[in-house]
A and B are shown apart, each in its own frame.
Chain A
Amino acid sequence: MATAIGSTEEYNSEINVTPMVDVMLVLLIIFMVVTPLLQQGVSVNLPRDTISPDADADIAKDTSVIIAIPDNNNFYIGKEQYPLNVLGEKIRDKMKDKSPDKRIVYIKSGVEVDYGRVVEAIDAIRKQDIDKIGLIADKRKTGETAPAN
């Protein structure tokens, strides 16, 4: 055969890229599969570019209770939608085996939501004897220059 590689005395100058492509494809597929799994709950237009919230790794845990309020009419816990009047019951169920220092409910609310709706959710939370609330916000990335104010 005229194209039989390596059989002639000349060196083959091409890199064999097949293993590299294999590895890339596998990595790509891993990221494609993992990315939707990392997104928890419903998507919400969070307050952006805030300066001082504390990072809290517990938010991403499966056991944490996050109430999402994407707009004025809906309350979600995780991915499930609940009417306001059963919110308290669901929170009690989910919080019942937590130690006292872990009794915090996170609120993930959109910026366009009326504060009154958030207050209604908070009211449902405190009826379960929980007095700590985490308001989830997007922290401004460090390194970006802050606008002068």
Chain B
Amino acid sequence: MAMSGGSSSGGATPNINVTPLIDVLLVLLIIFMVITPSKPSRFEAKVPAEPKPEDQTIAKPNPLTLVVAINNADKKITLNNEAAGDVTNTADLTNRLLAIFKDREASGAFREGTNEVEKTLFIKSPRSVKYGEVVKVIDAVKQAGAQPIGLQIDDLTD
């Protein structure tokens, strides 16, 4: 071959072997493409408006509103004061809510003035609970279809 290297003939071959270079570049390229952030997502929560001192009329409590509370000591969840699993296993809570919503659909427990099933739910958690655990509970109630989800802000215990 005419190009048989620089060992026998006098001049060195001017070709660089670029194959490893391309390999490294391709891998780097793929790494950067993969770590490009994906689409963000979020839970929507509502907070009750701040109580105004001049507006102290007692609102009629809605009997259909659900309250999910987290107990700080043993991380148990209660749904309207009934035990519903704990923070590490939220499947029980989801199933209970699904049953309640199904029941309401059958019995026609609608949001006032509309024909949608009342699915309003409030979450009450002590201040020292970790945020990650609250999000787990929100995830569980969202799976059951609760909407809107409200966060209780006032009068939380430590």
User: Which residues of A have CB within 8 Å of B156?
Assistant: 116, 119
Chain-B contact segment, one of A73-81, A91-99, A134-142? A134-142
**1/0 contact trace for A1-23 toward B, CB 8 Å?**
11101001010001001101100
Interface majority SS (helix, strand, loop, mixed), chain A: mixed
The answer to whether A115 and B127 touch (CB under 8 A), given A25-B25, A53-B142, A137-B135, is yes
- Please give, as numbers and ranges, the residues of chain A lying within 8 Å of B138 by CB-CB distance: 135
Task: Check if B142 sits within 8 Å of A126, measured CB to CB.
Answer: no
Chain B residues near A69 (CB-CB < 8 A): 131
Interface of B is mostly: mixed
* Interface range on chain A (Cβ under 8 Å from partner): 35 or more
Let me know if B73 is at the binding interface, CB within 8 A. no
- A106 adjacent to B22 (CB under 8 Å): no
- Contact present for A139 and B36 (CB under 8 Å): no
Contact B42 A53 (CB under 8 A): yes
Are A119 and B153 within 8 A (Cβ)? yes
Q: List 24 A-B contacts (CB under 8 A).
A: A1-B11, A2-B3, A5-B3, A8-B2, A17-B19, A25-B25, A28-B28, A31-B29, A35-B36, A47-B132, A47-B136, A56-B40, A110-B131, A114-B128, A114-B131, A122-B153, A123-B153, A126-B48, A129-B49, A133-B46, A133-B47, A134-B43, A138-B41, A139-B41
| 8 residue pairs, one from A and one from B, having the closest CB atoms | A116-B127, A111-B132, A31-B32, A134-B42, A53-B41, A52-B142, A47-B135, A59-B40
